[in-house]
Structure 1
Amino acid sequence: MSLGVIMLVHTGFDRAEQMVRHWAHAGCPVVVHVDSNVPVATYDAFSQSLADLVNVRFSARHRCEWGTWGLVAASQEAATLLLEDFPEVQHAFLASGTCLPLRPIAELQRYLDAHPDTDFIESATTADVPWTVGGLDRERFTLQFPFAWKKHRRLFDLFVKLQQALGYRRNIPDGIVPHMGSQWWCLTRQTLDAILRDPHRPTYDAYFRKVWIPDESYYQTLTRLHARIVESRSLTLAKFDYQGKPHIFFDDHAELLQRSKSFVARKIWHDAHLLYQTFPLPDDPLRADEEPNSGAVDRVFSQAVERRTLGRPGLYMQSRYPSSDRQTSIAAAPYAVLQGLDDVFPDFSAWLTRQTGAQVHGHLFAKDRAHFADESEVYRGGLSDNARLRDYNGKMFLTNLIWNGRDQHHCFQFGPADTQDIRWTLAKDTNASIWVVSGAWSIPLYDSGRSASEVRTEAARLQRIEDKFLRVLRSPDARARIKIMTLAQFIEAPMDVLQTIIDDIAGHRGNALKEVPKMPDLTGLPDFLQDLKNQGMHPFLTGDITVGNTQQTIPAVRRKPYVISGQ
């Protein structure tokens, strides 16, 4: 059996000549179509350069613009000539001048010989194709597209909007179900001949002439009418970026292309000399029966698309600034936000550092300055503790701090007295763990020695600010790991909460608590809160603080359980 090649060429004629000779020297007849946009002198020079090859033909030329009927007409013209002049051809392979065989062509021929009745063409219904780019999937088959999208973008868009506004809808010819897929196919002689000789071909051609990007749907649809066995995949490795543009392979893709085990790859950069020297690979009996496997390539490109569209968590670049609607991890690594704990335990930061070994900062967003863990004026990455510089873009301040210190787990204190512009950033970051003891701001006010009447205004202000933050944390848009408890709930069982915080920060390195942070004497706190209520300020965020709560504020250290066995 024989393999024939249809090659569409519009540029890069020296490389196209090299590819034609690859195929022809391997015994494959080649029919070349050159875009009619190419000057006659260039066309003549190209055809003359291949005049010594007896199994190469040139078909009648058509104007080929992206997304228009000309590409289908060109392949029809070349396919008809291929089947007429080379009756021994049993499979027709559609390629371009930038397609490069990766494996020996003899391996491809043997592979097709083992599948004599199989048509290799990506073909899926519009309902099952998730990768259409541009907003038109089913509509590309029911509207008319007389204008080229690339050259007449404004006319194209206006005509589409006009048809949509008028409710215009074109009828799909009876007997066909529109399918879509890659334009690079390999069809059996029987299927291709049936498509070209179909008695309804004038109807089908007239219909697809006004379909958008018909080269991705014409053969994909009609193959379903005439094929005996359809393998819905292309034997050509062609990748596309997130905008639907073909990806270009360069020299540094050599190893990736080899791992793909694909027979042919597109689109190869004109000056990728290493690729053109390396491929096709020499014959290898151990590889001869390997199936094409683009899984490894697909994974790499999926990661590249994700990197291109979303960037890396915590790293922001002007060239691909991510959309806030698609962000999940704002910072580069997990970190903890602790609100109210340093009010309950004055020495909490130093204690937590000893327990976890983490970088425990003070109030990074305090009004006066950023209180870094080492109390320095400049932190890693040149971050200044200047409040005005920090508040110019608090989100970038936080992400820079985490990025530059991502080798450590960071924690910082937060509270209602701090700058609050950062609260939505914290709530939406999946890398953030937020622990809030609500109403803890009442303890420093109580310890100040001032009367309830003197601190009433300040208490109301702090509670109002904290309540807004809690509303943000309880929003459906919040994605951080959030734990909120009232002061009353916390002081009833502080050891359990502290152990959970340590386990979250230190992970498997966390140990059972052996040292308890010192809590101030809260004996008079219930009376202080009652005085606030008497002054007209209701501290509802503290929870129900009673004398019973405050008498249990010195927790016993939990001992490790053990078992005593007896006779």
Structure 2
Amino acid sequence: MSVGIVMLVHTALDRAEQVARHWSDAGCPVVIHTDVSVPDKTHRAFQDSMADLPDVRFSRRHRCEWGTWGLVAASQSASELMLTEFPDVRHIYLASGACLPLRPVQELIDYLKARPQTDFIESATTADVPWTIGGLDTERFTLRFPFSWRNNRYLFDRYVALQRRLGLKRRIPNGIVPHMGSQWWCLTRQTLSAILSDPERSTYDRYFSKVWIPDESYFQTLARQHSRQIESRSLTLSKFDYQGKPHIFYDDHLQLLRRSDCFVARKIWPRANRLYDAFLTDEASAMKRTEPNPAKIDRIFAKAVERRTRGRPGLYMQSRFPAQPRENGLTSSEYSVFQGFSDLLETFEPWLARATGTRVHGHIFAPERAEFSQGETVMNGALSDSAALRDYNPRAFLTSLIWNTRGERQCFQFGPRDNQRIIWDIAKDPNAQISVISGAWAVPLFKSNQNFSDTRREAALLQQIESKHLEILRSNAAKARVRIWTLAEFVEAPMEPLQTIIDEISPQHTQSGLSEVPKMTDLTGFGQFLQSLKNQGMHPYLTGNFPVTHDPQDTQTNLRKPYLVR
């Protein structure tokens, strides 16, 4: 009793010969199918290279194109030759030229000998598993697919669309229930011979020849008709990415493959010399005897798929440049945006840095330059303060700033005078904490010494810009944490907003309350300034209900004090 190996080969014939010799040296008969696309001269040289192996045969050749019937026909021809030429074979193991035995072949022989009636073939209905990728699950069994998806994709898609539009459906023969699974199986002699000698084989072959990807459903379906005992799993480690393409194993996957405890793995890179040297070896240096368990490394593959499809938040790469439905967050960590605070509070930036231990910038989207903290001109990641470079892609600028300074919270100022292209990105960023004093842009205008007509015109423009900004922040699409106070509300009771902000940024710095507060600019006469704007026809409604006569001493006397202030 032995195990027969059926190998489907189409490329890297030198590696296929190396693996075939490994199987043969362990006492396993080998039947090789070579794709008809391989030139005859190359195929004859391949045959001659293994002429010294008495238990190696070559089957009739077929054209094996992905997703077509040729792969099933090749498996049938090679299996028939195996059953005819080697009557002592009890199990037939289907492999490819890119497969690599990971454990001593004798372990596989012993494992199957202890399970003489068991077929190892992944077999599940389309309703039970979400494996199918590309929109064709049950339709692959009810529509016809005479055209190659790879070589005639236009005709493939149009013919599928035509069948859907006309409502055409195929009848599944003899009431069989289509099953799907990995094409790499290991069947007993009894089951395989029953499939190949089934009186209805011509009917099944005719039906499956027009099924989409029949090599993943033909044997998987018919084994259910003839098998005594099925274990719905493959003994071959075969992993696929999110697009349904097989993972390729390279030299640096050596330890990963050892952890799988599987008998065979595919798909191996032909130049992975380290893998071939490590596994095509003697029993003493091979893997330990244990139950094959590819699930042990499923978590690693799941993480790889997630990293490939979603990436790390705030990190872009050539293979995963951000797109609206695929991006995994604009930024990598939390940051704070302050609008109007530095206009009203003269020492706000140094005070915030001391109170929270964060890095506090000025207006990094200011029209002249990016105002980095402490007047720096270059930030981590070689970010320049050049406005031209920043404005070429403001979104990438913000993402890079947060990514390259991760581990240190960033805070910066923003206002209606700054580049407004970044507003939507910040508003939709869950990592952003946005605090706004609406109407605070009026304070620098109040302090300026320009003509009142110019002041009125600029105030109208700034209010229009800020109004649109606040509309975005209040929209349903905004995911940032937003707090908005009017200027009048903030001036009336500044301690509570400041304490709330500090608590959220760095609660450990304020367990006993604020010990100091930033200095507020002198607003004497500011109420009359706002009234003058109103008298000129410009209504500064974003400032709130600011009194015409404002006495800072009264505000200090009536301050609410929810926290202890030393």
Map 1:347-426 → 2, pairs under 5 A: 347-426=347-426
Q: 1:373 to 1:256 in 2, by over 3 A?
A: same
Q: Is the 8 A contact 2:173 2:207 kept in 1?
A: yes
- Between the aligned partners of 2:157 and 2:492, the Cα distance in structure 1 is 66
Q: Indicate whether 1:315 and 2:354 are aligned.
A: no
User: What's the secondary structure of 2:233's corresponding residue?
Assistant: coil
206-215 vs 195-204, which moves further: 195-204
Query: Where do 1:100-139 residues align within 5 Å?
Result: 100-139=100-139
**Do 1:523 and 1:551's aligned partners in 2 also have CA atoms closer than 8 Å?**
no
1:147 equivalent to 2:147? Answer yes
3-state SS, counterpart of residue 337 of structure 2: strand
Q: Secondary structure at the match of 1:125?
A: coil
User: Take 1:357 and 1:81, find their aligned partners in 2: how far apart are those partners?
Assistant: 76
Distance 2:318 2:130 in 1: 29
Report Cα offsets for 1:177-214 as digits up to 9, x if no partner.
33322211222333323322333322221111011211
Aligned to 2:170: 170
Partner of 2:555: 551
How far residue 540 of structure 1 moved from its aligned partner, in angstroms, is: 4.2
Q: Give the match for residue 17 of structure 1.
A: 17
Residue by residue over 1:527-554, the C-alpha shift from the partner in whole angstroms, topping out at 9 and shown as x without a partner, is 6556655655444444455679972575
CA RMSD after TM alignment: 3.2
* Cα distance, 1:117 vs structure 2: 4.0
Specify every segment of 5 or more residues in structure 1 that has no aligned partner in the other structure, as ranges. 562-567
Instruction: Describe the shift of the 1:22–1:521 C-alpha distance in structure 2 as closer, same or farther (beyond 3 A).
Output: same
The answer on whether the counterparts of 1:349 and 1:361 sit within 8 Å (CA) in structure 2 is yes
Say whether 1:47 aligns with 2:47: yes
Q: Which amino acid aligns with 2:521?
A: P
Establish whether residue 434 from structure 1 lines up as the match of residue 427 from structure 2.
no
Distance 1:338 1:535 in 2: 30
Measured in 1, the distance between the counterparts of 2:507 and 2:3 equals 61
Residue by residue, what CA displacement relative to the aligned partner does 1:451-487 show, whole Å, maximum 9, x if unpaired? 9987544333223212222222233333333333444
| Residue 556 of structure 1: how far off its partner (Å) | 4.5
Q: C-alpha distance in 1, partners of 2:472/2:5?
A: 62
Q: C-alpha displacement at 1:495, in angstroms?
A: 3.7
Q: Which amino acid aligns with 1:52?
A: D
Show the counterpart of 2:252: 252
- Give the secondary structure class of the aligned counterpart of 1:243: coil
- What CA distance in whole angstroms lies between the structure 1 residues aligned with 2:434 and 2:140? 49
Distance 1:496 1:4, change over 3 A: farther
1:131–1:334 CA distance, 2 compared to 1 (3 A): farther
Q: Which moved more, 1:472-481 or 1:337-346?
A: 472-481
- Partner Cα distance (1:286, 1:97) in 2: 21
Partner residue in 2 for 1:515: 516
The answer to whether the aligner puts 1:460 opposite 2:460 as a matched pair is yes
Q: Please say if residues 428 and 477 of structure 2, whose CA atoms lie closer than 8 Å, have aligned partners that are also in contact.
A: yes
The corresponding residue for 1:98 is 98
Deviates more, 1:14-23 or 1:68-77: 14-23
Equivalent positions of 1:207-222 (< 5 A) are 207-222=207-222
Contact 2:238 2:266 in 1 (8 A): yes
1:337 aligned partner:
337
Distance 1:545 1:299, change over 3 A: farther
Cα offsets for 1:336-356 (capped at 9, x unmatched): 211222233221111111112
Provide the C-alpha distance between the structure 2 equivalents of 1:543 and 1:454, rounded to a whole number of angstroms: 22
More divergent stretch after superposition (449-458 vs 415-424) = 449-458
* Residues 288-345 of structure 1: per-residue CA shift (max 9 Å, x gap): 124423443x333334334444444333344542323322322333322112222332
Distance 1:72 1:459, change over 3 A: same
Aligned to 1:564: none
Deviations 1:192-240 (A, max 9, x none): 2332233332222111101121111212222333334433332211223
Structure 1 stretch displaced more, 323-332 or 408-417: 323-332
Please tell me whether the aligned partners of residues 23 and 30 of structure 1 are also in contact (alpha carbons under 8 angstroms).
yes
From the superposition, tell whether residues 258 and 289 of structure 1 become closer, same or farther in structure 2 (CA, over 3 Å): closer
Residues of 1 paired with 2:117 and 2:167: CA distance? 43
Whole-Å separation in 1 of the counterparts to 2:492 and 2:107: 75
Instruction: Report if the CA contact (8 A) 1:129-1:180 is conserved.
Output: no
Please say if residues 339 and 436 of structure 1, whose CA atoms lie closer than 8 Å, have aligned partners that are also in contact.
yes
Q: Which moved more, 1:286-295 or 1:142-151?
A: 286-295
Separation in 2, partners of 1:491, 1:111: 80
- 1:110-166 CA-to-partner distances (Å, cap 9, x unmatched) read 333444444332333334443433343333222222222223333333333433444
Structure 1, 452-461 or 349-358: larger mean CA deviation: 452-461
Change over 3 Å in CA distance of 1:379–1:40 after alignment to 2: closer
Indicate if the aligned counterparts of 2:248 and 2:266 stay in contact, CA closer than 8 A: yes
Per-residue CA deviation, residues 45-80 of structure 1 (Å, 9 max, x unaligned), is 323333333333322222211111010011112222
Map Cα deviations across residues 479-516 of structure 1 (whole Å, 9 max, x no partner). 33333344455456544433343344336566542222
Corresponding residue SS for 2:294 = coil
**Structure 2 vs 1, CA of residues 352 and 265 (structure 1 numbering), >3 Å: closer, same or farther?**
same
Structure 2 unaligned regions, length at least 5: none
Tell me the number of residue pairs that the alignment of Structure 1 and Structure 2 aligns: 560
| TM-aligned CA deviation for residue 449 of structure 1 | 8.2
* Higher mean C-alpha deviation, range 44-53 or range 482-491: 482-491
The structural deviation recorded for 1:249 is 1.5
| Residues 117, 419 of structure 1: alpha-carbon distance in 2 compared, 3 angstrom cutoff | same
- The amino acid of 1:515's aligned partner reads E
Give the direction of change, closer, same or farther, for the CA distance of 1:382–1:287 in structure 2 (3 Å limit). closer
1:313/1:332 contact within 8 Å kept: yes
| DSSP 3-state at the match of 2:355 | helix
Cα deviation for residue 426 of structure 1 reads 1.1
> Hey, what's the Cα distance between the residues in 1 that align with 2:525 and 2:175?
86
Q: Could you tell me the percent identity over the aligned residues? A: 61
Task: State TM-score, norm by structure 2.
Answer: 0.88
Q: CA 1:180 to 1:480, structure 2 compared with 1: closer, same or farther past 3 Å?
A: farther
Alpha carbons 1:513, 1:557 under 8 Å: kept: no
TM-score by length of 1: 0.88
- CA gap of 1:26–1:364, structure 2 versus 1, over 3 A, is same
